[in-house]
Structure 1
Amino acid sequence: MTAWADALRVARLAAADPHGLGGVVVHAGAGPVRDAWLAALRDALTAARPLRRMPGSITDARLLGGLDLPATLAAGRPVAEAGLLAETDGGLLVVPMAERLSPGLAARLAATLDDGIVRVERDGLGESRPARLGVILLDEGQGDDAPVSPALADRLAFHIDLSDIALGDLTPPEAASLGEDESGKPVADAAAVLCQAAQALGIASLRGPLLAMRVARLLTGGRDPTEAASILAARLVLAPRATQTPTLDETDAASDDSSPETPAPDERAPETEAAPGEGPSLEQRLVEAVRAVLPPGLLAQGLEAGSRPRQPRPGKAGIAAASRTGRPTGARAGAPRHGRLDLIETLRAAAPWQRLRRGEGATPDSRRIRIRPEDLRITRFAQRSETTTIFAVDASGSAALERLAEAKGAVELLLAEAYTRRDRVAVLAFRGTGAELILPPTRALARARRSLGALPGGGGTPLAAGLDAAADLARTVRRGGGAPLVVVLTDGRANVTRTGTAGRAQAGAEALAAAASLRGEGVRTLLIDTAARPQESARRLAEAMGGRYLPLPYADAGAMRDAVRTAR
C-alpha cells in the first residue's frame, strides 16, 4: 500500500513540474498496474500539459523536427515542421522500452532536458523551438538486460518500481493537494542537510540532492521546505539512488564533521524545542527515513550489478552492420549501388534547392524535381547478430554419462530454436589432461546429433584447460561479430593442472585464474553445478567468472534449456 501511495504521489509531482523535475524512471513490465499508474499521471496533468508517446522506431526528423516534405513540394520553398519534442513542450514524453534506447537517442533526450530547447540544423533549416518537457522512461528490462542510460536516468528526479505491487493493492488516486506540508516550520538549511544525507547514502551526483530540494519546495508551495517535506523528498528522490546503506555511526560522523563548533555559552541562541543532544538531528531522521525504505542487501546488489559484463552495443558484438537487410536505422549519403535507395530522404535532401536549380527563367508549370548525385540517400540497416551458446561440459568421473546425456538433450532442444533465433550451439568437453572441441558452432541438427553421439567420458578434471578453451572459442565468435554465451557444466572440483599433472590445490587455483580471465573478456557466463549436492567450489568458480550460479543436481534437458534461455 505504501509503495502504491508513493507512486501516486510521484505521478502528481511529476505532472506539477515536468521540466523542473525531469520525469520518472518506471521499472515495470506491461500490465494493469503500470496502466493504472499512467492513467493517474494522465489525470494529474492539466489541459495545458500534453502527454505524448514516443514510437520505438522514431526518426531524427520526427523527433527533432525538420523539413515538411509534402508542404515543401507544394509551396516550392522550404517549410519546417515541429518535431515530437517541440510538440511536447510543457508536458511529458512517455518512452517505452527505455532500456533499448540507443546511445545517440538517449543523448538527444538528455540535451533537451538540460537546455529546454531543441535545435534543428538540417535539410537547409536552422531554427530553435522550446521543449521544456519531462520524460517518463518505461524500463521493461528483465534479468541481464542492459539498464536505462545512467546519464539520462540521473536527470530524472524519481525512480519507482511497480513490479512488486499487486493488483489488489491499487487504490484510487488521492485528491490531496501538494501543499499539505505548508503549515510546518521551515528548515534553516535544507539544501545542506540533503547534501549530507546524499553523501551518507553514497550518492555521488549532485543532481540527487538538487532535485530533492526542488521536490521539497514543490511540496511546500514554493516556500522554504519544512522538515516533513524534506524527509518526504529524500525518501522519494534519494532512496532509489542510494548505493550504500548507512549505519548510525556513519551518520553521526558525517553530522559531526559538517556541524560548526559549539558556540560559547553567552553566544548560544535561546532554546525553542529541545537542547542539542536530546534527540536525533534532522539529518539523522532524514537518513533513517530513507534507510527504512531501502531494500535489504543493497550494497551486495550494487556490487553484483557492477560485476556484470556490459551488454553488446550497436556496432559491436550483438548487433552487426548490414548493407541491405535488417532493421532500418536512418539514411546516409551514398550511391544506390552501395545500398538500398531511400526515396523519401533523397527527396527531402533535394527539396530545399529546387528554386535555385530551376533558375530565374523557369516557367510556373516547371514542377519537375531536379535531383543531383549529392542528394542521393541510401538506407542504413542494423542486423541482430547470432548468439553462440558454448557448452563446456565436464566429461570426467563416474557421473559423466549422466551429465553428457543432459547436455546432449539440451543442445538438441536449443538447436530446434536456432533457425528462428539465428543462434548457434557449440560443445566442448574437458577430461583427462585437456579439452576437446566436440561440436563447432553450428545450426545443423543432424550434424550435432552425430557429433554428440560419440562424445566420450571418464578421466580426470582439467577445469582450467576447459575454461581456457571456452575463452578461446568465445573470442573467435566475437571476432566474427557474434555474441558468445559460455555455459559450464561441472561440480567445480578440479584435480588436473594445465600441464596435465595431478594436484587439487594447484588445479583449483589455475581454474579460478582461468575463470577470472574469462570474466575479464566480458563474456556472459552461466555455471550449472551438476553435483548431487551444491558445491562451494562451484559457487566460488561462478563468482570468479562473474556469471550466474545455478545448482541443478537433478536437472534434465528441459530445465537446462530454460536456464540457458534466462541467461541469454
Structure 2
Amino acid sequence: MSAAAQWGEAVLAASLFAIDPPGIGGISVRALAGPVRDRWMTLLTGLLPTEAPVRRVPLHIADGRLLGGLDLAATLQTGRPVAERGVLADVNGGIAVMAMGERLTPSTAARLSAVIDNGEVVLERDGLAMRLPTRFGVIVLDEGASEEERPPVSLLDRLGFHIVLTDVSVRDTEELAPTREEIAVARVQLAKVSVGDKFVEAICGAGAALGVASLRPTLLAVRVARASAALDGRDEVNEDDASIAVRLVLVPRATQIPEMPADEEVPPEEVPPEEPPADEEPPEQPPENNDDDEEKPPPEVEKPLDDVVLAAALSAMPAGLLAQLRAAQFMRSRSSPPGRTGVARAGGARGRPVGVRRGMPEAGARLNVVETLRNAAPWQPLRRREMLASAREKGLDEAIAAASGPRVQVRQDDFRVTRFKQRAQTTSIFVVDASGSAALHRLAEAKGAVELLLADCYVRRDRVALIAFRGQGADLLLPPTRSLVRAKRSLSGLPGGGGTPLAAGIDAAASLADAVRRRGETPLLVFLTDGRANIGRDGKGGRAQAEQDALTAARALRMENFTALFVDTSAQPHPQAQKIAREMDALYLPLPYADASGISKTIRAASPPARTA
C-alpha cells in the first residue's frame, strides 16, 4: 500500500469515526509527532460538531483527575467532602486524546476501558459515591519506536481503527474529506441504517478466517459498516460497506492467512469430467445451433458473500504483515528467559512516578503531601468532634481547644508515599569470535549492533562491553561503558585470525557478567561465533577436547541464569553452534537471518522490565 493510499485509509477512518465516536470506540494512530499527524488531527476535529469537547489526557494523570474525586482545596475550606468532576466525565459527547499511548500504564487503561464499557464513571472513593454518565470516543497517539512498544491490548481491543502514518509524508496528505455538514447529515441518517443477517454473517466469517479471536472487533466492524452506509446516504448496508468494515477493522488485527475456497484453488478446466458407467448409454447431445456462429460466454457464477468480503480483505492486507506479526510473537515468547531480573536495589526514590501507596516516609520513600492531605480531609469533621469531646472530658473550654488545635489533623494511616517505576540497568556484553578469515565480517556485524545499541543508551541508560577471543585466550577490549567513541576504537583495533578458544570466551563472559550482577545491574550476553572450537581451556589444540570444554563452560553459564543470545556466524546454521546455544539456554539466531539491526532489536526485546518501588 502506497503512502497516499495509507493517507486515504486514514481519512476514511476519521470520517467514519466522526459519524459515531462512542459506537466505533476510537482510533489508534501510530505515528511520531509531526505535521502529518497534526494535519490528521485537524481534519478529524474539523468533522466533529462544534460543541463536541476535545480533551487531551496527560500520560501521568492521577485517578482523581481522570475519574473525579475529592476537591482538596474546597474540602479543607468547608470542612466537608466536596466532589470534583474528572476529565472523562467532562468529555461526554466528544473525544479523549491519550498522549503517548505506548507508555500508558495497564491500570489507567483498565479504568478507561471500564468507563468505555459501562458508559458512565463510577466513583466510590474518598468518602464519595457518584455515577456520572459519559459516552465518548478515544484517540490513542502511539509514538512507539519498535514493535514491542504498543498501547495496552485491553484498550486497543476497544478501538475500531488502527491506522499507521509512519511512512506518510506531507506531500501525500492531499486526500479530500467530507465536510462537517455531510458528516452531520450522515449522523442523522445512522439511526435509520439496518444491517442484514447475511452481512453480519459475512463479517463474522471474515473475522474467523483472519484469526481475530475477540468478538469486540467484529461488533465494531458492524458499526463501521452502518456508518459507511450512512455516509453514502443509504438505509441498508451493502457489500461495499461490509468490505470497508473488514478492511479497516479486521485486517489490522489478522493473525493468520485465510484459506481460499476450494473452487478458487482448483480451476474448472483442471477437474476431469465424470465418465458415465459402461452399462449406461451416454446422454443425447442437444442439436448444435449452426445459425449462431458467435460463441456464447460462459455463465457467471455468483460467489458467496463471505468469499467476496474475504477477497476484499486479502487485497487490502499489507505485504509482510503476517510475517512481521509472527516475528514479533517469536521475540515476545523468547524475551522472558529464566533469571532475567537483576539485583533489586533498596529504596524507591528514583524513576518515573506511577502512583502512591500507603506507608511511612522512611528508607528513602518520598512523602506525597497532596495525597496525604486528600486521605485525611474526609475525616476532619469526625476528628474535630473527637478533639472537642476529649477537651470536655479534661474540663477545658471547647472554643479554646478548637482555636489552639491543628486546623488539619493528619494521622499515621493517612500517610501516602510516591511509587516510582525504574528500568533495571542493563549491561550488554558482546563476546566476539575474532578467529579465522571471516573475522572482519563478524566484527562488522558486532560493530553495527553495538552502535545501534549505544544509540538507545541516552534514553535507556544502558552500557555495553566487548570481549574478543582468538589464539589461546580471551581479552576484555572494552569494559562496560556508554561511550560510542571508545566502542568504535576498540572494534577498529581488533585483529583477526588464529584459533577459536570458545571455552575461554565463555568463561571470560561469565566472569564479567558476574561482576556486573554484583554491582546491582543486569548482564545480557551476546555471543557472535560459529561454535567450532579448536582450542581448549588449557590453551592446547584439539577439536574434540575444545568442543567438550566449550560445552562444559556453556553448562556452567546456564547454572548462573544469565540471559544470553547466541548469533551463529556460519554461512549456514551449524549443528555444533545450536548445541552450544542449547546448553547455555541462549536464544539462537543464525547470522544469515540476523543483521545488526535484528540483533539490536532482539537485545531490546530481552531487556529487563521496569521495576516498581
Same fold (TM over 0.5): yes
> What is the aligned partner in structure 1 of residue 330 from structure 2?
307
TM-score (norm 1): 0.76
1:294 matched to which residue of 2?
317
Matched, 1:133 2:145: no
Q: Tell me what 1:369 maps to.
A: 408
Kindly state the Cα deviation for residue 49 of structure 1 after the two structures are TM-superposed: 2.6
**Aligned pair in 2 of structure 1 residues 43, 249: CA closer, same or farther (>3 Å)?**
same
Q: Are residues 323 and 567 of structure 1, via their aligned partners in 2, closer, same or farther at CA, if it must alter by over 3 Å?
A: closer
What is the distance in 1 between the residues matched to 2:5 and 2:493?
A: 59
2:254 counterpart (227, 242, 267): 242
The Cα offsets for residues 163-190 of structure 1, whole Å up to 9 and x where unpaired, read as 1222112124233548599999974421
Alignment of 1:55-454 (within 5 A): 55-171=58-174, 172-175=176-179, 176-177=182-183, 179=186, 187-221=196-230, 223-249=235-261, 278-309=301-332, 322-338=347-363, 339-359=365-385, 363=399, 368-398=407-437, 400=439, 422-431=461-470, 441=480
State the SS of the aligned residue for 1:202.
coil
How far apart, in 1, do the equivalents of 2:572 and 2:450 lie?
Answer: 27
Hey, what does 2:285 align to over in structure 1?
A: none
CA 1:415/1:151 → structure 2, altered by over 3 Å: closer, same or farther? closer
Work out whether residues 320 and 382 of structure 1, in 8 Å CA contact, stay in contact via their aligned partners in 2: no
Q: 1:35 to 1:452 in 2, by over 3 A?
A: closer
SS in 2 for 1:389: strand
CA distance in 1, matches of 2:458, 2:202: 58
Instruction: Specify the SS of the correspondent of 1:40.
Output: helix
* SS of equivalent to 2:261: helix
Q: Which whole-Å CA distance do the structure 2 matches of 1:200 and 1:416 have between them?
A: 41
Identity %: 46
- Seen in structure 2, the aligned counterparts of structure 1 residues 406 and 138 have a Cα distance that, compared at 3 Å, is closer
Q: Given the two structures, how large is their TM-score scaled by the length of structure 2?
A: 0.71
Note the alpha carbon deviations across 1:87-122, whole angstroms, 9 max, x for none. Answer: 222221111221111222222222222222222232
Q: Distance in 2 between matches of 1:418 and 1:148?
A: 23
How far did 1:77 drift?
A: 0.7
What CA distance in whole angstroms lies between the structure 2 residues aligned with 1:548 and 1:53? Answer: 46
| In structure 2, C-alpha distance between the alignment counterparts of 1:561 and 1:187, rounded to whole Å | 49
Once the two structures are TM-superposed, the CA of residue 376 in structure 1 deviates from its matched residue by: 1.7
Q: 1:205 deviation in Å?
A: 1.6
What is the alpha-carbon distance in structure 1 between the residues aligned to residue 62 and residue 10 of structure 2? Answer: 32
Deviations 1:482-534 (A, max 9, x none): 455544444x3635599998669x979x99xx89x99xx895859596xxxx9
- 2:353 partner letter: P
More contact order relative to length (CA 8 Å, sep ≥ 6):
2
| Residue identity matched to 2:211 | G
Query: How big is the shift at 1:212?
Result: 0.7
CA separation in 1, counterparts of 2:330 and 2:598? 23
Show the counterpart of 2:279: none
Matched residue type, 1:237: V
Which letter maps to 2:177? Answer: P
**Structure 1 SS opposite 2:178:** coil
Q: Contact between 1:211 and 1:237, CA under 8 Å: does it hold in 2?
A: yes
Amino acid across the alignment from 2:110: A
Deviations 1:221-265 (A, max 9, x none): 495422221111111111111122324336979xxxxxxxxxxxx
For 1:535, which of 568, 571, 577 is the aligned residue?
A: 571
Letter in 2 for 1:90: G
Give 1:347's aligned amino acid. Answer: L
For 2:167 and 2:490, how far apart are their aligned partners in 1? 46
- Return the alpha-carbon distance in structure 1 between the equivalents of residues 207 and 505 of structure 2: 46
Q: Report how far residue 219 of structure 1 moved.
A: 2.5
Bigger CA radius of gyration:
2
Partner in structure 2 of residue 272 of structure 1: none
3-state DSSP of counterpart to 2:69: strand
Contact kept, 8 Å, 1:319 with 1:384, in 2: the verdict is no
Task: Provide the rounded CA distance (Å) in 1 between the counterparts of 2:344 and 2:480.
Answer: 18
Q: Aligned to 2:303, what secondary structure does the other structure show?
A: coil
Report the count of equivalent residues: 528
* 1:412-438 Cα deviation digits (max 9, x unpaired): 998899798643323333446886766
More moved, 207-216 vs 467-476: 467-476
- 1:265 paired residue number: none
Shift of residue 359 of structure 1?
1.4
Instruction: Tell whether the 8 Å contact from 1:524 to 1:547 is kept in structure 2 after alignment.
Output: no
Does the C-alpha gap of structure 1 residues 405 and 48 become closer, same or farther in structure 2, counting only changes over 3 Å? closer
- After superposition, the Cα gap between the structure-2 partners of 1:479 and 1:24, relative to the gap in structure 1 and judged at 3 Å, is farther
CA contact 2:211–2:256 (8 Å) conserved in 1 = yes
Instruction: Report the RMSD for the aligned CA atoms in angstroms.
Output: 5.0
Counterpart secondary structure, 2:50:
coil
